[in-house]
Amino acid sequence: MMDMKHSTIRIDKFLADMGIGTRSEVKNYLKKGLITLNQAPVKDPSQKVSPDTDIVCFRGEHVRYTAYEYIMLHKPAGVLSATEDRKQKTVLDLITDACVKDLFPVGRLDKDTEGLLLITNDGSLAHRLLSPNKHIAKTYYAKIDGIVTNEDILLFQSGILLEQGFTTLPAILSVLSTDSLTGTSEIEVTIYEGKFHQVKRMFEAAGKKVIYLKRLSMGTLLLDPALQPGEYRHLTDSELDDLL
Ligand code: URA
């Protein structure tokens, strides 16, 4: 994992930042002797600690300091990829036990799109993953109203003019199944940009309509099949190593 060095901070801030309680709750815990620093009880809220080398425990449990948090969410349909909204539920409303403040979703999925969404407070990672010239691969599963053909595969491969001055990079389209009775197809598509409604617009250009869309991967990060829509978990160290 990336080696991050932190400067020393007050123990009450350390514990509040890690979600142990508010600053005043933490002061109470200190007073009650529930906090130890390198195995010795500590009562002074202004005590400085080094997050990298000191061992801070609350009720005997080691509290690790993380400046950054990385969460894999299986976004359900019906929630907005935004940090807050006055009327509608956002993806951040689904994250109920975050340790850090200032989380945001890395990029956007449409309200009706499901699947992998990375939620973090690490702006520089987000910047790298979203940067248009990094061409990070994103793979989607979709159900299509229409029979997807070899011509469509070639069209996606050759790039599609989506708007004045913007032609998509070659995208890899593969057909999983077609159903001639219902006139629908199941496909996977990998794109290397993230324009607004990109997958839907690419199929529109092919005269077809996306009726269900789910993101399966972003760069090296794969949606954990154990996560149901609405569920989330922290990234593992190896997922994070690969992303960073
Ligand atoms: N392409 C779309 O059309 N919508 C999404 O949510 C993601 C990619």
Tell me the CA–centroid distance for residue 185 and ligand 1, in Å. Answer: 17
Whether residue 36 is predicted with pLDDT greater than 70 in this model: the reply is yes
Give the pLDDT confidence score for residue 22 in this predicted structure: 87
Tell me the CA–centroid distance for residue 146 and ligand 1, in Å. Answer: 18
Tell me the CA–centroid distance for residue 99 and ligand 1, in Å. Answer: 29
Q: How far apart are CA 57 and CA 211, in angstroms?
A: 50
Q: How far apart are CA 65 and CA 232, in angstroms?
A: 21
Q: Which of 117, 162, 193, 200 to mutate to test the pocket of ligand 1 (most atoms within 8 A of CB)?
A: 200
- Going by CA atoms, what residue is nearest to atom 2 of ligand 1? 197
Give the ligand 1 atom nearest the CA of 81.
Answer: 6
Residues flanking ligand 1, CB < 6 Å = 109-110, 113, 197-200, 213
Tell me the CA–centroid distance for residue 201 and ligand 1, in Å. Answer: 9
Of 54, 110, 145, 224, catalytic? 110
Q: How far apart are CA 175 and CA 171, in angstroms?
A: 13
DSSP the chain: --------EEHHHHHHHTTS--HHHHHHHHHTT-EEETTEE---TT-EE-TTT--EEETTEE----S--EEEEEEPTT-BSSS--SSS-BGGGG--S-SSS--EESS---TT-EEEEEEES-HHHHHHHH-GGG---EEEEEEEES---HHHHHHHHH--EEETTEEPPP-EEEEEEEETTTTEEEEEEEES---TTHHHHHHHHTT-EEEEEEEEEETTEE--TTPPTT-EEEPPHHHHHHH-
Model confidence band, residue 3 (pLDDT cutoffs 50, 70, 90) = very low
Catalytic-residue membership of 110: yes
User: Global pTM?
Assistant: 0.81
Model confidence band, residue 244 (pLDDT cutoffs 50, 70, 90) = confident
The per-residue pLDDT for range 161-213, each reduced to its tens digit, is 998 889 999 999 999 999 999 999 999 999 999 999 999 999 999 999 999 99
